[in-house]
Structure 1
Amino acid sequence: MYEFTAPFQNPSGSPIRELFKYLGEPGMISFAGGYPASDLFDVDGLKQAAARAYHDPNLCLQYGPTDGLPLLKHQLIQLMARRNVSCEPNEMLVTTGSQQGLDLLLRVLVSPGDVVVTEQPAYPATLQALRLQQAKIVTVPVDAHGIDVARLATLLASGTFARPKLLYTVPTFANPTGATITRERRIALLKLAVQYQFLIVEDDPYGDLRFSGDAVPSILSLASEVDGARDWVVHFASLSKIVAPGLRVGWTIAPTEITRRCVIAKQTVDLCSAPWTQAIAAEYLADGALERHLPRITAMYGRKCEALCNALHAQVGDALEFHRPEGGMFVWARLSESGNGIDASALLQRAIGNKVMFVPGKAFFADNVDAASLRLSFAAPGIADIEEGVTRLKRAYGEVTAGGA
Structure 2
Amino acid sequence: MHSVSPKTKQTGDYVAREVTGDKIDFSVGQPSPESLPLAALSQAAAHRLGSPDAELLLQYGPRQGYLSFRQSLAAFLTKRYGTAVDAAHLMVTAGVSHGLGLAVGALARPGDVVAVECPTYFLVPPIFRDHHLRLVPLRTDDHGLDVEALAAWLAADTSHRPRFVYTIPIHNNPRGTTLPAARRRRLLALAAQYDFLVLADEVYQLLSFPEKPSPTAAAVEQQQQAQGGGPAASNARQDAWARPEEGIAIGPQGASAHEPLPLPLRCYEDLRGEAGSGSDGGGDTSTSGTEGSGGSGGGGNSSRVLSFGSFSKMLAPALRLGWIECSNPALLSRLKEDGVISSGGCIAQMSAGLAHSALELGLQDAHLDGVVAPGLARRCAALCTALRRHLPECRLQQPRGGYFVWLEFPQEVSAKALLVRAEARHGVRFTPGPACGGGGEHCARLSFAFYTEQELEEGARRLGEALREHMAQEQPAMAP
So what's the TM-score if we normalise by structure 2? 0.74
Residues 92, 348 of structure 2: 8 Å contact kept: no
Deviates more, 1:132-141 or 1:235-244: 132-141
**Is the counterpart of residue 347 in structure 1 residue 418 in structure 2?**
yes
Matched AA of 2:336: V
More helix by share: 1
Separation (CA, whole Å) in 2 of partners of 1:21 and 1:352? 21
CA separation in 1, counterparts of 2:386 and 2:265? Answer: 34
Return the match for 1:81 from 78, 84, 103: 78
Count of residue pairs brought into register by the alignment: 380
Residues 31 and 356, structure 1, Cα contact 8 Å, conserved in 2: yes
Equivalent residue number for residue 52 of structure 1: 47
Match of 2:225 in 1: none
> How much does 1:240 deviate?
0.8
Question: Is residue 405 of structure 2 the alignment partner of residue 304 of structure 1?
Answer: no
In the alignment, the residues of structure 2 paired with residue 22 and residue 287 of structure 1 have an alpha-carbon distance, to the nearest angstrom, of 31
**1:355 deviation in Å?**
2.1
How do residues 316-335 of structure 1 correspond to structure 2 at under 5 angstroms? Answer: 316-318=391-393, 320-335=394-409
Task: Specify every segment of 5 or more residues in structure 1 that has no aligned partner in the other structure, as ranges.
Answer: 1-19
Q: Is the 8 A contact 1:210 1:327 kept in 2?
A: yes
In 2 relative to 1, CA 247–389 (structure 1 residues): closer, same or farther, beyond 3 Å? Answer: same
What fraction of aligned residue pairs are identical, expressed as a percent? Answer: 32
User: What's 1:143 paired with?
Assistant: 141
Take 1:21 and 1:238, find their aligned partners in 2: how far apart are those partners?
A: 18
2:304 to 232, 245, 249: 232
Is 1:397 matched up with 2:395? no
Q: Deviations over 1:325-374 (max 9, x none)?
A: 1111100112123xxx22111111222222222111112225xx522111
Unaligned segments of structure 2, at least 5 residues: 1-14, 212-256, 275-295, 476-480
Q: Using the TM superposition, name which of 384-393 and 90-99 deviates more.
A: 90-99
In structure 1, the residue matched to 2:388 is: 313
Larger radius of gyration: 2
Task: Please say if residues 187 and 226 of structure 1, whose CA atoms lie closer than 8 Å, have aligned partners that are also in contact.
Answer: no
Q: Hey, what's the Cα distance between the residues in 2 that align with 1:21 and 1:199?
A: 32
RMSD in angstroms over aligned alpha carbons? 2.3
Residue correspondence of structure 1 range 5-404 to structure 2 within 5 A: 23-56=18-51, 57-82=54-79, 83-159=81-157, 161-211=159-209, 212=211, 213=257, 214-223=260-269, 228=274, 230=298, 231-254=303-326, 255-265=328-338, 266-267=340-341, 271-296=345-370, 297-318=372-393, 320-337=394-411, 341-353=412-424, 354-366=426-438, 369-403=439-473
* SS in structure 1 of the partner of residue 91 of structure 2: strand
- What per-residue deviation string (whole Å, max 9, x for no partner) do you get for residues 358-403 of structure 1? 111112225xx52211100001100010011111112222332243
Q: Evaluate the alpha carbon distance shift between residue 313 and residue 30 of structure 1 in structure 2; reply closer, same or farther with a 3 A threshold.
A: same
Alpha-carbon displacement from aligned partner over 1:203-241 (angstroms, at most 9, x marks no partner): 111111112442211111222576547311111111111
Match of 1:215, SS state, is coil
Q: Distance in 1 between matches of 2:271 and 2:361?
A: 33
375-384 vs 264-273, which deviates more? 264-273
TM-score w.r.t. length of structure 1: 0.87
